[in-house]
Amino acid sequence: MNREKDKMKRVVSGVVTVVLASLAWCGLCLAADGPLLFDLADNNLKISTFYNGTTLDVTGKVPADHDVVVQVSGPRKDVHLKEKGKVAGFLWMNKTDVSLENTPAVYMIYTPIGRPAAAFLGPHLNVGYKALLRDITISPASADKAFIFAEYVKLMEKSGVYAINEGTVRYGEPNNGMKEFAATLTIPSKMSAGAYKVTALAMHDGVVTNRVDKNLTLELSGLPAVISSMAYGRPLLFGFMAVFIAIGAGLVVGFLFRGGGGAH
């Protein structure tokens, strides 16, 4: 009887040891991967009549020895461009049609304060323009892909929808092994209505250890929503209204100019 009790004790002790070791191992794994908390101040932004872009605050927590990069992207689409070049050695003209497939309409990166952005960018991290180029298909096959992509990025940066925002993620003081982070995202006026993704990436020693994705929706509101609904739902009525508005605007301008001319 005593032997059976001793045997049972050894079995229970072994099970407890295994459970405790497993919990400890899970704790170490969690610490290594880095728990990441992340949220948006608002996940549904309205594009109203006088909308001219806005900002969006994001906040979260990350292990004290980690960094955070925030990425805004989407939606993916195919882009068709005309490549210019010299014809006959001196005349600049459109030479060929170029396509960029699977290209995000918006791509903005926000990197931590106090360190160069290059430390958080690269194909190995799947962050930045070089990583983006890897995921985009450019045709024809004979095209200078690096040059075309670089020119496309310049065009999108001028529109404000592509950007590498260095030193824009701020940190709070470490507390109990964690630290708070915050960033203010720029939502440009050229960022049209649609579904986007805001991603927080936790990094440690040049490796992405965790990520959290949040959905962001830009939605037409008020007069822009009415106009859009009419344009797609009642195109004939919308066409008549556009003509009447143009005629009315022309009459008003003509009246103002006639009034100005009579004053002299």
Tens digit of pLDDT for each residue in 48-98?
Answer: 888 999 999 999 999 999 999 999 999 999 999 887 665 555 555 566 789
Burial label, 221 (beta-carbon count in 10 A; 0-12, 13-18, 19+):
middle
Q: Are 212 and 240 in a shared domain?
A: no
| Domain contains 162 | yes
For residue 90, what pLDDT is reported? 52
| Domain contains 258 | no
For residue 82, what pLDDT is reported? 80
Residues in the chain: 264
For residue 191, what pLDDT is reported? 95
| Domain contains 2 | no
For residue 96, what pLDDT is reported? 79
For residue 244, what pLDDT is reported? 67
For residue 228, what pLDDT is reported? 54
Q: Are 240 and 151 in a shared domain?
A: no
Q: Are 64 and 178 in a shared domain?
A: yes
Q: Are 90 and 201 in a shared domain?
A: yes
* HEC-encoded secondary structure of the chain: CHHHHHHHHHHHHHHHHHHHHHHHHHHHHHHHHCCCEEEECCCEEEECCCCCCEEEEEEEEEECCCEEEEEEECCEEEEEEEEEEEECCCEEEEEEEEEEEEEECCEEEEEECCCCHHHHCECCCCECHHHHHHHCEEECCCCCHHHHHHHHHHHHHHHCCEEEEEEEEEECCCECCEEEEEEEEEECCCCCCEEEEEEEEEEECCEEEEEEEEEEEEEECCHHHHHHHHHHHCHHHHHHHHHHHHHHHHHHHHHHHHHHHHCC
Domain holding 200: CATH number? 2.60.40.3880
Q: Which domain holds residue 131?
A: 33-219
Residues of the chain with pLDDT under 50: 11-12, 14-33, 225, 263-264
Q: Are 227 and 147 in a shared domain?
A: no
Q: How many domains does the chain have?
A: 2
Q: Are 247 and 126 in a shared domain?
A: no
